Amino acid sequence: MQTKLHQWAVDDPDRRFDDLYNLVHHPDFLTVAWERVRGNKGARTAGVDRIIPAFIADDADIVAFLKNTREQLKTRAFTPLPVRERMIPKPGSGGKLRRPV
């Protein structure tokens, strides 16, 4: 879907995607997103929401988690937290840091 949306936006720069928000909280999209997150190497550590994806293993827990997430998205009550930024030391710079590329 992301590829299609990108192509449509390139083909018609003035196009408006009015119904895009409904895709964000669609159960199928949330399920695919959850499977991708669970498959990440980072699934063993907590994110900014302090939830460890690997600990949500039971099907009932996954259904409840996704239902809660969907409800927050639908009601627009979900507020993303700031992401922790990790700085990388610059070699030979005496302790200066840079942002990852």
The predicted structure's pLDDT at residue 11: 95
Secondary structure of the chain in the HEC alphabet? CHHHHHHHHHHCCCCCCCCHHHHHCCHHHHHHHHHHHHHCHHHHCCCCCCCCHHHCCCHHHHHHHHHHHHHHHHCCCCCCCCCCCCCEECCCCCCCEECCC
Which has more pLDDT, 84 or 10? 10
pLDDT at 64 exceeding the cut of 90: yes
CA–CA dist 67, 30 (Å, integer): 9
The predicted structure's pLDDT at residue 71: 94
What's the distance, CA 14 to chain centroid? 26
* Per-residue model confidence as pLDDT tens digits over 31-61: 998 998 888 887 888 777 778 888 888 899 9
The predicted structure's pLDDT at residue 70: 93
Q: Is the pTM of this model over 0.95?
A: no
Which has more pLDDT, 82 or 66? 66
The predicted structure's pLDDT at residue 32: 92
**Paired tokens of 60:** 């009932």
The predicted structure's pLDDT at residue 60: 92
Could you state, in order of their start, the residue ranges of all structural domains in the chain?
A: 2-74
Q: Can you say whether the dihedral through the CA atoms of 27, 33, 37, 39 is positive or negative? A: positive
pLDDT band at 7 (very low <50, low <70, confident <90, very high): very high
